[in-house]
Structure 1
Amino acid sequence: MNSSENWLIGQLATKPRLIHSVPVKPEWFGDSAVRELVRLMIKLDGDWIGEMDLAQKFERENKVVAKSIDWRPIDESQLVRYPLGSVVRTLQKQYATAQAQKAAADFARNPDEKNATNLLKAFEEMGKDGNAIKGDQLSQLMHDYVAEMGKPNSTDGMIKTMPKVNELLGGGLSGGQLIIIGARPSTGKSAFVINMMDGIQRNSTEMVIDLYSLEMANKETRNRFISLTSRVPMRVIKRNIPDSDQQQKVVKAAEEFDGSNIKIVEDAKRLGQITQSIRARAASAQKGHYVAFIDYLGLIEPDQPTGNRYQDVTHITRALKVLANELDVPIVLLSQLNRDNARNNRSPELYDLRDSGSIEQDANVVIFLYRTDDEEDASTRQVMVRVAKNRDGELKSMQFEFLPATMLFKVP
């Protein structure tokens, strides 16, 4: 290891809480044993007491690899004081440069499209400036408002969905929001999202809408949209046996989506794949004209699994919240509830969110869907939609009727 690597490892080993704020990655380090040590730090999430405790934990984890770590130069490096941020940026830049050199060599050997794409990405990473953090002076923000005061906006800036959902949310979806929709299995949360998406595209054909459908195949999601918009029962659509009248309704429903920009994504499973896709799609939309739905949280795979699902979920929800803020777009994330709530058959609370902890903390809005009837095979189900958390608005509830045959949610 070089002096910067030694120093950063020593800082992390002696100050466990730094692992929460320093975006360290194993691949920054040239020594394979050190990379394994960093992976353990991330997995432990700061759960060690000083260097000796970390070393003991590492030896229990992998005795052979742990013996190859030389702690002497790591300890000696701590006699020098460096700015932590500068060391982190140096290691980031060194790694990005090495990756760019490798990508350039690969392209030189085989100049195909894949290697060209990898080379472009590597150079983009190398050109990123970790210091490029921007802010706005409060005084300037206030004067900007004064300059525009008395000039009403033609729109409130919110993304309109189903009218009654807009009412519950105080007008609609807003940029920068992470919205959690929680429900027990078979309550209709996926169908509820399809109703929301249909409402959004009906209100504005310029909207760019993505549904990351981790649970259902694209054709199954398509069938639900067809059934909802044509009112032809799902059983008919799935078996592909519509009569002549129903066929006309399906054709008309399909035409309603001509010109729309809704993408159904079934092949993005990892968090990094989803966030990269959201960035690209949001960049293609006008400001205020993008929204992403993810169905659902429990199926998202972390890029660097810790082996602790609670920690993985914490990382996932925080990453999505940061992304929503950065891009100024709403991200709607579906979540299941803990089994205990199902057994007790009660109205859900924030602590019922599955693998909870950070979910309700990171969310701007939490919406619960839950049945208020007991008829399992009813053609119409009574579903309460309750806003249990709303940082910028009121907590409200509204009774809906859910018609599973056509995926329709409506107010009685």
Structure 2
Amino acid sequence: MISEIEERIIANILHKPILLDSVDLPPSNFTNPFCKQVIEIALKLPAGERSLISIANENSIKLSEYEFATFYSKLNSLYARTISEGTFLNDIELLKQHRIKEKLLGNLATYHQYQTSANLDNLLTSIQNYQSFNDSDSGELTKTITQITQNVEEGATAGIKTNPKIEQRFKHFLVGSKLICIGARPGVGKTAFCLNLICSTLIHDPSVHIDFFSLEMNKNEILTRLMVMLSQVNSNVLTSGKALEDENISKRISQATDILKQSKLRVYDSVTSLEGILAKIRKNAKLCAKNKYLAFVDYIGLVSVNSKRSLERYLQLGKITRELKICTNSLNIPIIVTSQLNRGIEFRQEKEPQLSDLRESGSIEQDCNAVAFLYRDSNNPNLVNFAVKKNREGPLGRISFNFTGDTLTFV
């Protein structure tokens, strides 16, 4: 197939030599030796001199009389083809894609044989190049304008349904293209809050695909917590054999198990690099309909960045938030990340977190569409406030939740 594409490209250039000046077409992209040779010669000649005989003559010094005749005959054969200039640019893109994929496979084989840091960097670069090539953007606006008009006429979609209080207070909180950060000090309940959001989503719409990247807890711990929340059975009871002796408790556990089995939830506890997380999100999100995909990264401070040079942590976090934001835009999906807060908040009289309390990087504040904080009420330890301090697409404000530790539930 690739050889056929390469020959079509050459045929188009032979008919209209000026086409070669309108594209970036290095000879190294070609696998067919004859086509590669023709491109090398054609690039050396001005567009007005790229005739069949000129291309053949340019190469005649290296060829015998028989070889020259064969070379010229091949050129004539390609020139005689029925061509379509309309396929030219598409063929160029297919050829580039093939070249990028071949390089990726080559770097993969090299890394498989020699697992050095340099070979890993080359492999990751190839993966990013391949993913970037497939994330095309024509810049065309008609489809977007039509969608906006429909939203005005019919009412904009509320996005992914989750906690009803959050939806009511902060309109369209989980719609596409949003990077949302939830920050808190350790022990306040960042992970539990995110898992509560997941439970609400699973109950409202089991068809939503959810990817949860857990960098602190393993898969077993995450699923146990979800079982506790969905069944409302105390975790100590859930993990004891006595739970099945109570018919009511057993039924609730069974119902929670069914919800998880029928859900589109995936939990990753060994994908810790930015590149790995992005690869999973891109792969899974592309298969989902609009408002049917949601990703969580818990938490952003533990995400690693593969780099050819050592970067300070604040620069790494800048790269992480920037790449995640680009991902939300290109795939039109929401991503929720959690973040730690600086310890300085513990020594302040005013305990309500501010944007400046985000640990290590201002890029979180800069790149995220919305930033919210969880913090406990100083007068009531069971009361946890959810305060939205930045929201590009909606209001700021605060909601108070009662946190039930036995069932890890925010109500």
Structure 1: which 5+ residue stretches go unaligned? 1-91, 110-117
Partner of 2:344: 340
Cα distance in 2 for partners of 1:127, 1:347 equals 41
Q: CA deviation at 1:100?
A: 4.7
Cα distance in 1 for partners of 2:174, 2:135 equals 31
- 1:216 partner letter: M
Question: Within the alignment, does 1:353 sit opposite 2:358 as a pair?
Answer: yes
147, 152, 155: which one pairs with 2:154?
152
Cα distance in 2 for partners of 1:375, 1:124 equals 48
Partner of 1:205: 206
Cα distance in 2 for partners of 1:359, 1:347 equals 18
Alignment of 1:5-404 (within 5 A): 100-101=105-106, 129=133, 132-137=136-141, 141-142=144-145, 145=148, 148=150, 151-152=153-154, 156-242=157-243, 243-244=245-246, 245-304=248-307, 306-344=310-348, 346-373=351-378, 381-404=382-405
Contact 1:168 1:387 in 2 (8 A): no
Deviations 1:255-302 (A, max 9, x none): 233421111110100010100001111022122200001110111111
268-277 vs 157-166, which deviates more?
A: 157-166
Q: 1:144 to 1:291 in 2, by over 3 A?
A: closer
- 2:282 partner letter: R
Cα distance in 1 for partners of 2:289, 2:383 equals 37
Q: CA deviation at 1:102?
A: 5.9
TM-score, scaled to structure 2: 0.66
- 1:152 partner letter: E
Q: 1:254 to 1:98 in 2, by over 3 A?
A: closer
- 1:306 partner letter: S
> What fraction of aligned residue pairs are identical, expressed as a percent?
31
Deviations 1:177-197 (A, max 9, x none): 000000111111111111101
Q: 1:367 to 1:99 in 2, by over 3 A?
A: closer
Cα distance in 2 for partners of 1:126, 1:140 equals 26
Q: CA deviation at 1:399?
A: 1.0
Equivalent residues, number? 302
SS in 2 for 1:401: strand
Q: 1:241 to 1:355 in 2, by over 3 A?
A: farther
Partner of 1:70: none
Q: CA deviation at 1:306?
A: 2.9
Q: 1:238 to 1:184 in 2, by over 3 A?
A: farther
Cα distance in 1 for partners of 2:241, 2:278 equals 35
Cα distance in 2 for partners of 1:366, 1:131 equals 27
Q: Which has the higher helix share?
A: 2
Q: CA deviation at 1:204?
A: 1.0
Structure 2: which 5+ residue stretches go unaligned? 1-96, 114-121
CA RMSD, Structure 1 to Structure 2 (Å)? 3.3
TM-score, scaled to structure 1: 0.66
- 1:256 partner letter: I
SS in 1 for 2:360: coil
- 1:252 partner letter: Q
Q: 1:95 to 1:320 in 2, by over 3 A?
A: same
Q: 1:329 to 1:128 in 2, by over 3 A?
A: closer
Contact 1:195 1:408 in 2 (8 A): yes
Contact 2:135 2:330 in 1 (8 A): no
Q: CA deviation at 1:131?
A: 11
- 1:272 partner letter: E
Q: 1:184 to 1:152 in 2, by over 3 A?
A: same
Partner of 1:4: none
Cα distance in 2 for partners of 1:166, 1:131 equals 31
Contact 1:291 1:329 in 2 (8 A): yes
Contact 1:97 1:126 in 2 (8 A): no
- 2:374 partner letter: L
SS in 2 for 1:386: strand
Cα distance in 1 for partners of 2:239, 2:153 equals 51
Cα distance in 1 for partners of 2:369, 2:330 equals 14
Q: CA deviation at 1:248?
A: 2.5
Q: 1:101 to 1:247 in 2, by over 3 A?
A: closer
Q: 1:359 to 1:129 in 2, by over 3 A?
A: closer
Cα distance in 2 for partners of 1:123, 1:296 equals 24
